[in-house]
Structure 1
Amino acid sequence: MTPSPADRRKSGNPATQAQIDLTVKQQREQKRQEKLAEYQRQLAKRRRSKLVWWIVGATAAVLVVAAIVASIVFAPAPAPSYDRGDSDGSGIEGLETFENTASHVDTAVDYEQTPPAGGDHNAIWLNCGVYTQPVPNENAVHSLEHGAVWVTYDPAQVSDDDIAALEAQLPSTYTVLSPYEGMDSPIAVSAWNAQLKVDEADDERIEQFIRAYWRSTNAPEPNAACTGAYDAPGKK
């Protein structure tokens, strides 16, 4: 008959029995040490996991803060804001003024000024904004009738930096910026019956002109819309 495990742990010899008891104690201690080692491994794993998540969270927080700072630092400057211009611009050096008619026509118009600063025009106005292509004179003049300021530049005489500098000076409404080939000056700023020609985009008279004529009540149809009509090709 095969002895049971309990029987195998018993011996009539005291020395042998002592050895058996020692072996059992060693096995128990080994199991206890194994359990302790496993507990310590799990504890170290949880600590590493917490450290990793803390690092991830801290890194994410730093990235969020950096993104917010970058959005503030590198965000484009807001468009300047001006009060409605009711001046006649008489103090602006080099300003020219004209007397133009204001009839609606459905044909091309031979304007007396280049670019036009008023005159007969199409019944549909040009939506104000920035254009990268030349816009129709007859629609742009209708926008002038509503109090808009039209800034034109000869692309052969100005740089991309000049164009960006011009755009940065414009209010977000009631202005048109567009190229105009063949002008006798690099830049022209036009309102209804008024025009200023300059050589540099940073000429301080550009701002003076805008302040004098932007949404001017001296235009034939002040407060009329500068949106909701015609988008010419090249509108940004």
Structure 2
Amino acid sequence: MLALVGAVAVVAAAVVVPILVTRSEEPVEQQATLAAIEQYADLRRDHVEGSVDYPQSPPVGGPHAQEWFDCGAYDTQVPAENLVHDLEHGTVVLTYEPGLPADDVAALADVLPANGILSPWEGQAAPVVVTVWGVQLELEGADDPRLAMFLQEFGHGETAPEFGASCEGGIDPADAAGAGTPV
């Protein structure tokens, strides 16, 4: 009987030990999540003239200009008040720190949705920020895997008060004081 118990223990050790060793050698992967998104509720939607002091930079919604910008990539910062009108229409806004390498800006332009705006943004807290109406996520860079996740989750404009509207047909940036120029 003792021999049988010993044989079972040897077989069990031969099976269990390699499994435990293999598990301990597996790298612990950190999966990207959208846990860091910020959401803002009860944003005003009124049209105003002049500048607005938004609490977030870039803004996530609120009072805004009567005119919105056409979709696309801009090489200089666009006025916040017009950009917020785009957000109201369901536009995805990708902003980046001025000075971000040109390859990274090109990578952002490549993933910009048809209903999107890309613009540099002075003073934002992260290298890249993605925003839809009332929802914002700071990203570590153009290659941050959370960008694709955010676009999958929020990139269709469902959070916008005027869901289904478009940034197409917006004003020419030259018609807004201080507006950026298309790239």
DSSP 3-state at the match of 1:212: helix
Unaligned runs of 5+ in 2: 1-32, 174-179
What's 1:169 paired with?
Answer: 111
Q: CA RMSD in A?
A: 1.3
For 2:156 and 2:89, locate their aligned partners in 1 and report how far apart those are by CA, in whole Å: 7
Per mean C-alpha deviation after superposition, the further-off stretch among 210-219 and 92-101 is 210-219
Structure 2 counterparts to residues 46-85 of structure 1, below 5 A? none
For 2:126 and 2:159, locate their aligned partners in 1 and report how far apart those are by CA, in whole Å: 26
Percent identity of equivalent pairs = 41
Q: CA 1:217–1:199 in structure 2 vs 1: closer, same or farther (change >3 Å)? A: closer
User: 2:115–2:167: 8 Å Cα contact kept in structure 1?
Assistant: yes
Q: Computing the radius of gyration over CA atoms, which structure comes out larger, 1 or 2?
A: 1
What's 2:101 paired with?
Answer: 159
For 1:164 and 1:96, locate their aligned partners in 2 and report how far apart those are by CA, in whole Å: 26
For 2:153 and 2:172, locate their aligned partners in 1 and report how far apart those are by CA, in whole Å: 26
Give 1:218 shift. Answer: 2.8
What's 1:230 paired with?
Answer: 171
Give 1:213 shift. Answer: 1.7
State the TM-score, normalized to the length of structure 1.
0.58
AA of the residue aligned to 1:188: V
State the TM-score, normalized to the length of structure 2.
0.75
DSSP 3-state at the match of 1:94: coil
Give 1:215 shift. Answer: 2.8
AA of the residue aligned to 2:46: S
What's 1:213 paired with?
Answer: 154
How many corresponding residue pairs?
144
Q: Does 1:116 align with 2:59?
A: yes
For 1:215 and 1:230, locate their aligned partners in 2 and report how far apart those are by CA, in whole Å: 22
DSSP 3-state at the match of 1:168: helix
User: 2:90–2:156: 8 Å Cα contact kept in structure 1?
Assistant: yes
For 1:136 and 1:195, locate their aligned partners in 2 and report how far apart those are by CA, in whole Å: 18
For 1:225 and 1:198, locate their aligned partners in 2 and report how far apart those are by CA, in whole Å: 25
Unaligned runs of 5+ in 1: 1-90
DSSP 3-state at the match of 1:226: coil
Give 1:214 shift. Answer: 1.9
User: 1:133–1:234: 8 Å Cα contact kept in structure 2?
Assistant: yes
Q: Does 1:95 align with 2:42?
A: no
User: 1:96–1:194: 8 Å Cα contact kept in structure 2?
Assistant: yes
DSSP 3-state at the match of 2:146: helix
For 1:192 and 1:186, locate their aligned partners in 2 and report how far apart those are by CA, in whole Å: 20
What's 1:145 paired with?
Answer: 88
